[in-house]
Chains A and B, each alone.
Chain A
Amino acid sequence: MAASARGTRFLRSISALLVLLPLLSLGCTLRQFPQSSLHPQADYASQIQRLLEDLMFWVVVIFVLVEGALVVAVVRFRNRPGLPEPKMTHGHTGLEIGWTIAPAVILAFIAVPTVVTIFKTQSKPPAGALEVKVVGHQWWWEFQYPGLDITTASELHVPIGQPVAISLQTADVIHSFWFPAMGGKRDVIPTHTNAMWFTPEKIGTFPGQCAEFCGVSHANMRMKLMVQSREDFEAWVAAQKRPPVEPDSTSLAGKGKQVFLTAGCVACHTIAGISPGTIGPNLTHVGTRTSLAGALYPNTPEEMAKWIQDPPVRKPGSIMPKLGLAPDQIAAVVAYLQSLK
């Protein structure tokens, strides 16, 4: 028992080297490859990584042996003067049995940890997990916290160390929810509610994106995971639960609010207490976000103005139409939205 544990540890360390060696030689870090699936930052991703290292060990061993045998066969038996006439062998029963059983045994080594990991990673989330309901839209992600009564978009805030239980639904077509640093992806399918859970282990911002082709702007359906300290997360929650900022009616933001109410924005966007639309992202605290339009652009006044000016140009296929607002109207509405901290 101890010997086998030592054996697997040995294998893992070798295979970890084998996976990471080519990547390390490229100087591969999470900073360079922020969306990497090889730099686990949660328990779920780590379990997959361990399994991948086991797999990788066998894959490399088999690769070296079989490709090696192929090369040896070609080089050693290449046609050259003095090579004896080949013997007309037709087969060898012992060999056939041997090389049927050998891969079967190796596959057993792969299959057992595979099945164990399947059941481990698809288990029920532990009690006390933070519940998040994720809704995929063409082409942005909506995040709802049923327990906290918060709805936001494109940026998922979670505290470090607390399991996050995610339920997955879609508003239109199939998408796939994927933060590589947290673990494997899970599809978001009409008429289904899928689930997954993970426990973030590092503070930081991790990019993710939709992984199932979902139409013209599939490439633009991005998101960010913000793993925060407990205090930062609590502060964020408190801010999100506040009612929206009420601008001074004479200020630019105040004019912007009027534009927002009259230009058609209210049909699709919610601002708590002001508008009920649910087709587009909830804007109650849009000013607190770091990115907009499906985490495609940084949330600056300039980018937001460009976005409102002509969304389909900024994100092809965008369901938000070009509203044809005058530049001063756009400036006003941007001022209003940016004020919604």
Chain B
Amino acid sequence: MATTTAPVGVATGTRTSFAAGVWSWITTVDHKRIGVLYGVTAFLFFLIGGLEALLIRIQLARPENTFVSPDFYNQLFTMHGTTMIFLAVMPLSASFFNFIIPLQIGARDVAFPRLNAFSYWVFLLGGIFLNLSFFLGGAPDTGWFGYSNLTSKQFSPGHGVDFWAIGLQVLGISSLAAAFNFIVTIINLRAPGMKLMRMPVFAWMTLVTAFLIILAFPVITVALVFLLFDRFVGTNFYVPASGADPVLWQHLFWLFGHPEVYILILPAMGIVSEVLPTFSRKPLFGYPVVVYSGIFIGFMGWGVWSHHMFSVGLGPIADSFFALTTMLIAIPTGVKIFNWIATMWGGRVELKTAMLFAVGFIAMFIMGGLSGVMHASPPADLQQTDTYFVVAHIHYVLFGGAIMGIFAGIYYWFPKITGRLLDERLGQIHFWLNIIALNVTFFPMHFVGLLGMPRRVYTYAPGLGFDTMNMISTVGVFAIVIATLVFIVNFLRSVRSGETTGSDPWGGATLEWAIPSPPPAYNFASIPTVHSVHPLWEADASDLIKDVNRVRGPIHMPPSSYWPAVAALGIALLMSGMIFGWWFGIPGLLIMLVGLYSWAFEPCH
């Protein structure tokens, strides 16, 4: 267990028995394997969230449909939102942080490999815990935003809200641990010469995202602590009868919730900023401006939270203030889009699947951004908020935006991760099906919302004119399902028998393309010295590539460890003990303490 010297050129994890193979994944501290774990797990949760969406749409296909019960419908839309945000988009982004960031900045691993493993295991257990609620008396059913006082014991006596609040706390621990790790990794483990303004934009957006996470998650932690105290101890934080104001929850939740929106979208913006230059054969236009606007968006994300609350009645002054700050955010966002288009302008645009998804991201994000500008205006928002218009908006931003950006990243980095290419023909089919299907699904929602259909309704009356457009949306979702199946087939086939590729199939500019695919355990045999934002497009690139792959002596990699997984298990048991009782909580506490202490005192070098 002490020091392992990774053998040169031998891929890790091959030729081991199945049990040993599983154990090696549980104990791994290799950022690349953890990245793969994150990606696969999050994609499975993405499918669960998608299944929930499918059921929602079947229920809404016709007015007064009885496909699911009202109660189950409310669980479905709550879990759909919660799953997609916390269990799909965030960890899919984290998957790229894990796999790509150390490679892009020229590091051998993240700053705290065991903390990284811990983040993953906490995320996995938190996700399982949250979904267990379906089988243990009913899933949460108060919406992903969980407005008090509906979440109080009086109005939600079941355990659904408890699962939700505790599950989010557990997931928060995971996100925080990962964010601390990536802040330190990006600031401290950059290769020599890689100044901050020479970092790839994806690394920059990761850094901004990580800062948003460490500052936003404590706020929802506190909001959830109050909720849990109210529900388990009988305090009165959100109980109107004692004079408490339920709007406190809304302020705390959206003070977290709006930065959270940027936590979801900035990584995708980072990915797109990598893909566009590569397939345009041209550096990113206005690199510093793109970076600064990302930082500015991150800052401004803290000053706009009440635009989610225009209908609360905060008064004309507050409404005007938050309208103006929200409109202000449109400026850096627009600037980013202009720079992306300018990157392609005058380039040689090669429409590989990754590039198609990146372009699709821009096209869909413009739509989502513009509908966002519409409800930045409070009077207009008062007609639009809590209707399907907003459902359309968030799906253009999160599905057309974040998920399309993530798919761009998957097609782009898949060869780096597996050494094989995803099939290009299936990829193109996936893209076109996906973008058409998503517009069929979500575009009519703009209209059905403006025509008066509120969101979060399990049914609607006939005669309000909602029927046709809802049916179109439902048909669209089936097309999204087919598109996703095409991707899954492509993925499974390509992992096993895709075309093998060298270290750099796309002619990328950043460091990850300098090393073999898949990368060796230690990534870089020698740590490179960087002189440019796109080191592999410089004249001396071939020297750099030769140099980073030249082994100059034994390479010490951190040993694998099972203590992070043990500590994660302990935390999950401890927290779930709040629902399952002390015979879960007390062993959980002990396991957690043993795990943390053993971890702290384990020799790590």
Check A-B contact in the complex, CB < 8 A: yes
Q: How far is the CA of A145 from the CA of B450 in the complex (A)?
A: 30
Contact of B240 with A37 in the complex, beta carbons under 8 Å = no
Kindly report which residue of chain B lies nearest to residue A178, judged by CB atoms: B454
In this assembly, does A317 line the interface, its C-beta being within 8 Å of a C-beta of chain B? yes
In this assembly, does A6 line the interface, its C-beta being within 8 Å of a C-beta of chain B? no
In this assembly, does A222 line the interface, its C-beta being within 8 Å of a C-beta of chain B? yes
Q: How far is the CA of A210 from the CA of B454 in the complex (A)?
A: 8
B363 contacts which chain A residues (CB < 8 A)? 67, 70
Contact of A115 with B244 in the complex, beta carbons under 8 Å = no
Kindly report which residue of chain A lies nearest to residue B370, judged by CB atoms: A59
Kindly report which residue of chain A lies nearest to residue B537, judged by CB atoms: A88
Q: How far is the CA of A210 from the CA of B316 in the complex (A)?
A: 23
Contact of A79 with B349 in the complex, beta carbons under 8 Å = yes
Asked if A73 meets B382 with Cβ closer than 8 Å, knowing A59-B374, A90-B287, A213-B456, the reply is: no
Query: Can you list, as one digit per residue, whether each of A169-188 has a CB less than 8 Å from chain B (1) or not (0)?
Result: 00011101010100111110
A-B pairs with beta carbons under 8 A, tally: 274
Query: Can you list, as one digit per residue, whether each of B235-250 has a CB less than 8 Å from chain A (1) or not (0)?
Result: 0000010011111000
Tell me the smallest distance from the CB of A221 to a CB of chain B, in Å.
9
In this assembly, does B503 line the interface, its C-beta being within 8 Å of a C-beta of chain A? no
B 365-392 contacts with A by CB, 8 A: 366-367, 370-371, 373-374, 376-387
A118 contacts which chain B residues (CB < 8 A)? 316, 319-320, 323, 378-379
A 12-60 contacts with B by CB, 8 A: 22-23, 28, 32-38, 45, 47-48, 51-52, 55-56, 58-59
Tell me the smallest distance from the CB of A33 to a CB of chain B, in Å.
4
Asked if A33 meets B452 with Cβ closer than 8 Å, knowing A77-B344, A87-B346, A191-B240, the reply is: yes
A190 contacts which chain B residues (CB < 8 A)? 149, 240, 246
Kindly report which residue of chain B lies nearest to residue A315, judged by CB atoms: B70
Tell me the smallest distance from the CB of A29 to a CB of chain B, in Å.
9
Tell me the smallest distance from the CB of B258 to a CB of chain A, in Å.
18
Of B162-170, B335-343, B560-568, the one with at least 4 CB within 8 A of chain A: B335-343
B 196-221 contacts with A by CB, 8 A: none
Kindly report which residue of chain B lies nearest to residue A19, judged by CB atoms: B450
Q: How far is the CA of A114 from the CA of B312 in the complex (A)?
A: 18
In this assembly, does B586 line the interface, its C-beta being within 8 Å of a C-beta of chain A? no
| Size category of the binding interface on chain A | 35 or more
A117 contacts which chain B residues (CB < 8 A)? 377, 379
Kindly report which residue of chain A lies nearest to residue B142, judged by CB atoms: A213
Kindly report which residue of chain B lies nearest to residue A108, judged by CB atoms: B327
Q: How far is the CA of A48 from the CA of B374 in the complex (A)?
A: 12
Interface centre among B150, B247, B287, B315 (most CB of A within 10 A): B150
Q: How far is the CA of A209 from the CA of B410 in the complex (A)?
A: 43
Of A95-103, A128-136, A260-268, the one with at least 4 CB within 8 A of chain B: A95-103
Q: How far is the CA of A119 from the CA of B246 in the complex (A)?
A: 25
B side interface size, CB within 8 A: 92
Contact of B457 with A89 in the complex, beta carbons under 8 Å = no
Query: Can you list, as one digit per residue, whether each of B266-294 has a CB less than 8 Å from chain A (1) or not (0)?
Result: 00000000000000111101111100000
Contact of A38 with B450 in the complex, beta carbons under 8 Å = yes
In this assembly, does B7 line the interface, its C-beta being within 8 Å of a C-beta of chain A? no
In this assembly, does A146 line the interface, its C-beta being within 8 Å of a C-beta of chain B? no
Of B92-100, B458-466, B512-520, the one with at least 4 CB within 8 A of chain A: B458-466
B581 contacts which chain A residues (CB < 8 A)? none
A 71-103 contacts with B by CB, 8 A: 73-74, 77-79, 83, 85-92, 95-96, 99-100, 103
Contact of B377 with A35 in the complex, beta carbons under 8 Å = no
In this assembly, does B359 line the interface, its C-beta being within 8 Å of a C-beta of chain A? yes
Contact of A37 with B289 in the complex, beta carbons under 8 Å = no
Contact of B345 with A184 in the complex, beta carbons under 8 Å = no
Kindly report which residue of chain A lies nearest to residue B380, judged by CB atoms: A52
Interface centre among A73, A191, A195, A213 (most CB of B within 10 A): A213
Query: Can you list, as one digit per residue, whether each of B323-360 has a CB less than 8 Å from chain A (1) or not (0)?
Result: 11001101100110111011011111111000000010
Q: How far is the CA of A95 from the CA of B380 in the complex (A)?
A: 32
Tell me the smallest distance from the CB of A58 to a CB of chain B, in Å.
8
A91 contacts which chain B residues (CB < 8 A)? 285-289, 339
A38 contacts which chain B residues (CB < 8 A)? 450-451
Asked if A90 meets B289 with Cβ closer than 8 Å, knowing A79-B350, A103-B330, A191-B246, the reply is: no
Tell me the smallest distance from the CB of B524 to a CB of chain A, in Å.
26
Q: How far is the CA of A173 from the CA of B382 in the complex (A)?
A: 20
Q: How far is the CA of A38 from the CA of B465 in the complex (A)?
A: 13
A203 contacts which chain B residues (CB < 8 A)? none
Q: How far is the CA of A124 from the CA of B370 in the complex (A)?
A: 32
Q: How far is the CA of A270 from the CA of B351 in the complex (A)?
A: 70
Tell me the smallest distance from the CB of B123 to a CB of chain A, in Å.
27
In this assembly, does B447 line the interface, its C-beta being within 8 Å of a C-beta of chain A? yes
Contact of B323 with A213 in the complex, beta carbons under 8 Å = no
Contact of B70 with A217 in the complex, beta carbons under 8 Å = yes
Asked if A99 meets B338 with Cβ closer than 8 Å, knowing A187-B313, A212-B386, the reply is: yes
B131 contacts which chain A residues (CB < 8 A)? none
Q: How far is the CA of A185 from the CA of B449 in the complex (A)?
A: 13
Contact of A99 with B150 in the complex, beta carbons under 8 Å = no
Q: How far is the CA of A136 from the CA of B190 in the complex (A)?
A: 57
B457's contact among A48, A87, A218, by CB below 8 Å, is which?
A218
In this assembly, does A251 line the interface, its C-beta being within 8 Å of a C-beta of chain B? no
Q: How far is the CA of A319 from the CA of B584 in the complex (A)?
A: 36
Q: How far is the CA of A207 from the CA of B378 in the complex (A)?
A: 23
Contact of B287 with A36 in the complex, beta carbons under 8 Å = no
Tell me the smallest distance from the CB of A174 to a CB of chain B, in Å.
6
Contact of B70 with A219 in the complex, beta carbons under 8 Å = yes
Q: How far is the CA of A121 from the CA of B311 in the complex (A)?
A: 13
Tell me the smallest distance from the CB of B63 to a CB of chain A, in Å.
11
In this assembly, does B155 line the interface, its C-beta being within 8 Å of a C-beta of chain A? yes
Q: How far is the CA of A190 from the CA of B151 in the complex (A)?
A: 13
A100 contacts which chain B residues (CB < 8 A)? 331, 335
B 432-456 contacts with A by CB, 8 A: 447, 450-456
Kindly report which residue of chain B lies nearest to residue A34, judged by CB atoms: B464
Interface centre among B70, B328, B380 (most CB of A within 10 A): B380
Asked if A86 meets B280 with Cβ closer than 8 Å, knowing A37-B450, A51-B377, A77-B349, the reply is: yes
In this assembly, does A215 line the interface, its C-beta being within 8 Å of a C-beta of chain B? yes
Tell me the smallest distance from the CB of A48 to a CB of chain B, in Å.
5
In this assembly, does B362 line the interface, its C-beta being within 8 Å of a C-beta of chain A? yes
B155's contact among A92, A172, A186, A219, by CB below 8 Å, is which?
A172
Q: How far is the CA of A118 from the CA of B447 in the complex (A)?
A: 24
Contact of B382 with A185 in the complex, beta carbons under 8 Å = yes
Contact of A66 with B337 in the complex, beta carbons under 8 Å = yes
Tell me the smallest distance from the CB of B192 to a CB of chain A, in Å.
23
Asked if A121 meets B246 with Cβ closer than 8 Å, knowing A70-B359, A77-B348, A189-B312, the reply is: no
In this assembly, does A62 line the interface, its C-beta being within 8 Å of a C-beta of chain B? yes
Contact of A211 with B387 in the complex, beta carbons under 8 Å = yes
Q: How far is the CA of A91 from the CA of B246 in the complex (A)?
A: 49
- Known contacts A37-B384, A70-B366, A183-B382; can you find 10 more A-B pairs with CB under 8 A? A23-B451, A59-B370, A63-B370, A78-B350, A86-B282, A88-B283, A96-B289, A191-B245, A191-B246, A215-B155
10 contacts between A and B (CB under 8 A): A34-B452, A34-B464, A35-B453, A55-B380, A78-B350, A86-B282, A117-B377, A118-B319, A189-B313, A218-B74
Interface pairs A-B: 3 shortest CB-CB? A184-B382, A35-B452, A190-B240
